[in-house]
Structure 1
Amino acid sequence: MLRVVVLVSGGGTNLQAIIDAIAAGKVKNAQIVGVISNNKTVKSLERARNAGIPAVCVSPKDYESREVFNEALLAKVKEFAPDLIVLAGFLVKIPEAMVHEYSNRIINIHPSLIPSFCGVGYYGLHVHEKALERGVKVTGATVHFVNEGMDEGPIIAQKAVAVEDDDTPETLQRRVMEQAEWLLLPKAVDDIANGRICVVNGKVKHTNSEN
């Protein structure tokens, strides 16, 4: 059984998508053993507790320096003994020590088709604002492994979403969530839990094997 820890900063809709997919049997051989947020007031913690999942807040504001926070965050993650860490809208840069400790065991969901609209400053609604400013006709979402770079890890899966002429950042964000993010992220967890993907020479290889 794959032990999953989810890190989230906001409302937790991607977290909920994983919770629902596990409950529906769409994600097999995986369980969420903990949820960590950097904000104690967000709905994601409530979503976790409603599902019977331990949920805690580890906020940079509660520590004297970013280095001390990084140590505390990594220590809390280790307490849950995860096999996989999922960044589901986690807006805090995770420490390099965590990336090294959990190499090819951390995945992230990004609301664009990487390499478009990614990197420093591209997160949440800002991504969709920039996509509309640029006038792109197709956007989407990407699930990727996390490495030391910003949105540069091996890509696991992508799904395209059409941009409509009357879109606002909010309507586009919602469509990308519904048509891409909430489908891609649970599927990636299921694929990892059941041995269907691996990283070879810096790229993700999909297989048909089952654990």
Structure 2
Amino acid sequence: MSGNRIKIERPIRLAIFISGSGTTMEAIVQASKKDGPLFGKILPVVVISDRVCEGLVKAKKLGVPAVVVTRPISSDGKELFAIFDKFHPDVISQNGWLSKTPLSVIEKFEGRIYNQHPAPLDPENRGSDGMPLHFGGKGIFGKAAHASVLEFQRLLGRIFPSEASIHRVTEQFDEGEVVARRKIEIITGDTAESLARRMLPIEHDLQIEFLKHVYDGKVK
């Protein structure tokens, strides 16, 4: 299905997976309201979290149903499928989701499940050990992703842009096809914290633009 364009003649029913503060989720939901860039295109139908977190409070204030699934999530994803049966999402957006998504869910939503990542990804460029040569993988998320970019630049002795990424979700962390990117310049003296602060609004804008493309059928 990843080779087919998604085109639905109604607002796309979106499930948003979170694990923390839910800032990207909040940006998406706000953009879907009247006069927002996603109004009439994206309908957030449920926010799913794998832990009690600030994002759940935000979702409820925004009027979006919010559900907590107990960790560890079962390998067959039955907890998630029970939620899908109630809310019938068309697309899943993982925005700060830290759990490993069950393969059964990935297969069910093949070509329709995406993950937000705050650093450059290049899953097709692999080293001799077969691992991708990029700033992703298990445990590389949030500030750790920014720290890995900055440390690599320090070791290399030169500065280059970082970027926000959106990729398809596969069985391995951060190894799916990258479907959207947006660069940000590194400033001398940047820390993982300062880079994260500057990157976050770029991630939000990228997510909103990408979801518009999904609705318009521009995503293969």
Q: Same fold (TM over 0.5)?
A: yes
TM-score (norm 2): 0.82
CA apart distance, 1:117: 0.3
Percentage of identical aligned residues: 31
Alignment pair present for 1:15 and 2:25:
yes
Alignment pair present for 1:89 and 2:96:
yes
Higher share in strand? 1
| Structure 1, unaligned runs of 5 or more | 199-211
CA apart distance, 1:68: 6.5
For residue 181 of structure 1, the aligned residue among 203, 207, 216 is 203
For residues 178 and 76 of structure 2, what CA distance do their matches in structure 1 show? 28
**Following superposition of structure 1 onto structure 2, how do residues 137-176 of structure 1 map, counting pairs within 5 Å?**
137-176=160-199
- Would you identify which runs of 4 or more consecutive aligned residues in structure 1 move more than 6 Å? none
| Structure 2, unaligned runs of 5 or more | 1-10, 123-133, 154-158
CA apart distance, 1:71: 2.0
For residue 78 of structure 1, the aligned residue among 80, 85, 100 is 85
Alignment pair present for 1:192 and 2:214:
yes
Alignment pair present for 1:52 and 2:75:
no
What is the aligned partner in structure 2 of residue 29 from structure 1?
41
For residues 100 and 75 of structure 2, what CA distance do their matches in structure 1 show? 14
TM-score (norm 1): 0.85
Q: Which structure is higher in RCO with an 8 Å CA cutoff and minimum separation 6?
A: 2
Change (3 A) 1:114 1:68: closer
For residues 142 and 68 of structure 1, what CA distance do their matches in structure 2 show? 27
Alpha carbons 1:113, 1:159 under 8 Å: kept: no
Alignment pair present for 1:98 and 2:71:
no
Alignment RMSD (CA, Å): 1.6
Number of positions where the alignment pairs a residue of Structure 1 with one of Structure 2: 192
Alpha carbons 1:111, 1:124 under 8 Å: kept: yes
CA apart distance, 1:69: 8.0
**Counterpart residue type for residue 162 of structure 2:** T
Offset from partner CA, 1:17-68 (integer Å, 9 cap, x none) = 101211242114210000011112x11111111111101111216xxxx536
